């Protein structure tokens, strides 16, 4: 990889060289479950790690590795692991560092399923989550203790829209000897590279903007390679001490600055098996090729639509990170170059029942809970993505009854504006 490549160039080329596979310009799909050993000694050398090469596609697949290299390059990490979905990536990211009795200090404004993973599933196995108000650094500070294994936030929280002060959270975490994990799904590395602001690990749902086509699910964990695990051997003994399930080797000794991502791939992922299929990796790599172009158009469309909604009598409030009056405008300027990505939400006049009429009146915009697609999508989180949450959970994740979330796509903005205008009129009938 040429380290002087700019983002747009790396998005098209990183992770693959035609000379590696019969000069094929498009990366090839290694559609195989397993790989054959040349002889008995070859097998032994592969299993002992003396030689590198694929063994079985749950452990590693060359096509998936191409995607991993591309994502790691775009996030400026030392390595990445691609998995079956964004949720699998979050689960693997947390399980790499935690055990019963430990905790994660997380922003409370989160994607609904992530909130459930941290607040409900992991606690059943003794891993606690402690939620802090996303805009209150003191709360994060107060919640970190000796059993904390990481601080966690989303760059742009979905759907409440809070933007994380990554540098401040990273400093706070590092002072207490723990890493900062950031879910960068909504911002994408085109708008923000959390590792360059001090974060240690980045997680993605590749299903969203990275793929961009809404045709495949995927996730990735990216390791920044800078966190000093060996300075905190009691807390991070899973990385620093010999591992029973891994040839009695210590990950930091064997893999150095890639220790975290090595354990992520060879323990949580290898044991839980939430791997990405090779054909999916290609589909997502193709999507990433156009990430920069799509994000430019999406931010442009979203800014015009947010402005239109601000003027509209049926929208009681509008929240979009790209608006100058945004509650986190300073942070948007610092971390996102003033751009707000494609998720915006607004409060519809008339609450939940007007929201239902609005959805039914849409003609072009699709009713869907996905985001980051080329197609513009609308959803009502309180009755869909956040439906499993209690009233308290809803309030904590910033979801009100009247909240309509739009994920803006790359269509012509005038077609989107006229559909919104007629559906807003329909919502009040
Ligand atoms: C969609 C999403 C996820 C979950 O990703 P899946 O690919 O659907 O499993 C996690 N975090 C954020 C911010 C998301 O938008």
pLDDT for 396 equals 67
Please give the distance, rounded to the nearest whole angstrom, from the Cα atom of residue 111 to the centre of ligand 1.
Answer: 7
Give me the domains of the chain, ranges plus CATH numbers: 7-30+61-286 (3.40.640.10), 291-427 (3.90.1150.10)
pTM exceeds 0.75 for this model: yes
Ligand 1 atom at shortest distance from the alpha carbon of 89: 9
419-428: pLDDT as tens digits: 999 999 999 9
Q: What value does the mean pLDDT take over residues 72-81? A: 98
- Nearest CA residue ID for atom 8, ligand 1: 86
286-344: pLDDT as tens digits: 999 999 999 999 999 999 999 999 999 999 999 999 999 898 999 999 999 999 999 99
Structure tokens at 317: 């409030």
117-141: pLDDT as tens digits: 999 999 999 999 999 998 899 999 9
Question: Is 388's pLDDT higher than 80?
Answer: no
Question: Is 1's pLDDT higher than 60?
Answer: no
Q: Which of 84, 89, 94, 185 to mutate to test the pocket of ligand 1 (most atoms within 8 A of CB)?
A: 185
Q: How many CB atoms lie within 10 A of CB 1?
A: 14
* Lowest mean pLDDT segment, chosen from 34-48, 83-97, 234-248: 234-248
Per-residue three-class SS string for the chain: CCCCCCHHHHHHHCCCCHHHCCCCCCCCCCCCCECCCCCHHHHHHHHHCCCCCCCECCCCCHHHHHHHHHHHHHCCCCEEEEECCHHHHHHHHHHCCCCCCCEEEEECCCCHHHHHHHHHHHHHHCCEEEEECCCCHHHHHHHCCCCEEEEEEECECCCCCCECCHHHHHHHHHHCCCCEEEECCCCHHHHCCHHHHCCCEEEEECCCCCCCCCCCCCEEEEECCCCCHHHCCCCCHHHHCCECCCCCECHHHHHHHHHHHHHHHHHHHHHHCCECCHHHHHHHHHHHHCHHHHHHHHHHHHHHHHHHHHHCCCEEEEECCCCCCCCCHHHHHHHHCCCCCCEEEEEECCHHHHHHHHHHHCCCCEECCCCCCCCCEEECHHHCCCCCCCHHHHHHCCCCCCEEEEECCCCCHHHHHHHHHHHHHHHCC
How much is the mean pLDDT over the chain?
95
* Lowest mean pLDDT segment, chosen from 152-161, 185-194, 304-313: 152-161
Please give the distance, rounded to the nearest whole angstrom, from the Cα atom of residue 208 to the centre of ligand 1.
Answer: 7
Ligand 1 atom at shortest distance from the alpha carbon of 87: 9
Ligand 1 atom at shortest distance from the alpha carbon of 219: 7
Question: Is 397's pLDDT higher than 70?
Answer: no
Which of 204, 193, 181, 175 is closest to 85 using CA atoms?
Answer: 204
**Cα 99 versus chain centre, distance:** 22
Question: Is 144's pLDDT higher than 60?
Answer: yes
% of the chain surpassing 70 pLDDT? 99
Decide: 102 in ligand 1 pocket, CB within 6 A: no
Decide: 161 in ligand 1 pocket, CB within 6 A: no
Question: Is 21's pLDDT higher than 80?
Answer: yes
Ligand 1 atom at shortest distance from the alpha carbon of 186: 13
pLDDT for 3 equals 64
% of the chain surpassing 90 pLDDT? 88
Whole-angstrom distance, CA of residue 130 vs CA of residue 128: 7
Decide: 86 in ligand 1 pocket, CB within 6 A: yes
238-295: pLDDT as tens digits: 999 998 877 788 999 999 999 999 999 999 999 999 999 999 999 999 999 999 999 9
Decide: 114 in ligand 1 pocket, CB within 6 A: yes
pLDDT for 2 equals 56
Which of 296, 279, 348, 289 is closest to 318 using CA atoms?
Answer: 348
Q: What value does the mean pLDDT take over residues 387-404? A: 79
- Nearest CA residue ID for atom 4, ligand 1: 86
Ligand 1 atom at shortest distance from the alpha carbon of 207: 7
Which of 59, 57, 77 is closest to 15 using CA atoms?
Answer: 77
Q: Which of 156, 205, 206 to mutate to test the pocket of ligand 1 (most atoms within 8 A of CB)?
A: 205
pLDDT for 27 equals 96
Please give the distance, rounded to the nearest whole angstrom, from the Cα atom of residue 209 to the centre of ligand 1.
Answer: 11
């Amino acid at each position: 990889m040429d380290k002087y490549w700019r983002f747009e160039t790396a998005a098209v080329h990183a992770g693959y060289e035609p000379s590696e596979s019969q000069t094929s310009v498009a990366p090839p799909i290694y559609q195989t479950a397993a790989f054959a050993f040349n002889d008995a000694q070859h097998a032994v050398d592969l299993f002992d790690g003396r030689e590198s090469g694929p063994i079985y596609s749950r452990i590693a697949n060359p096509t998936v590795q191409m995607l991993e290299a591309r994502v790691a390059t775009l996030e400026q990490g030392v390595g990445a692991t691609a998995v079956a979905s964004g949720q699998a990536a979050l689960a693997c990211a947390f399980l790499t560092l935690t055990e019963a009795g430990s905790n994660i200090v997380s922003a409370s404004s989160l994607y609904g399923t992530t909130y459930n993973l941290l607040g409900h599933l992991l606690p059943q196995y003794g891993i606690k989550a402690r939620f802090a108000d996303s805009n209150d650094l003191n709360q994060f500070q107060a919640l970190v203790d000796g059993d904390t294994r990481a601080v966690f936030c989303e760059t742009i929280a979905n759907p409440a829209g809070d933007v994380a002060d990554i540098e401040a959270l990273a400093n706070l975490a590092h002072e207490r000897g723990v890493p900062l994990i950031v879910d960068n799904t909504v911002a994408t590395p085109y708008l923000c590279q959390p590792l360059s602001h001090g974060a240690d690990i980045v997680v993605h749902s590749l299903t969203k903007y990275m793929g961009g086509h809404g045709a495949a699910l995927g996730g990735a964990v990216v390791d920044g390679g800078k966190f000093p695990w060996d300075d905190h051997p009691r807390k991070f003994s899973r990385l620093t001490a010999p591992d029973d399930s891994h040839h009695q080797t210590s990950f930091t000794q064997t893999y150095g600055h890639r220790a975290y991502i090595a354990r992520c791939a060879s323990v949580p992922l290898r044991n839980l098996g939430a791997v990405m299929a090779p054909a999916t990796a290609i589909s997502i790599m193709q999507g990433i090729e156009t990430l920069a172009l799509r994000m430019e158009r999406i931010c442009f469309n979203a800014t015009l639509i947010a402005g239109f909604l601000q003027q509209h009598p049926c929208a009681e409030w509008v929240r979009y990170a790209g608006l100058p009056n945004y509650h986190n405008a300073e942070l948007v300027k610092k971390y996102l170059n003033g751009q707000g990505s494609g998720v915006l939400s607004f409060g519809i006049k008339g609450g939940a029942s007007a929201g239902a009429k609005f959805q039914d009146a849409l003609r072009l915009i699709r009713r869907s809970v996905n985001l980051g697609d080329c197609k513009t999508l609308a959803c009502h989180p309180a009755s869909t993505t956040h439906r499993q949450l209690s009233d308290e959970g809803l309030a904590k994740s910033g979801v009100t009854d009247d909240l309509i979330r739009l994920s803006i796509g790359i269509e012509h903005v005038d077609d989107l504006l006229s559909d919104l205008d007629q559906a807003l009129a329909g919502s009040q009938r």
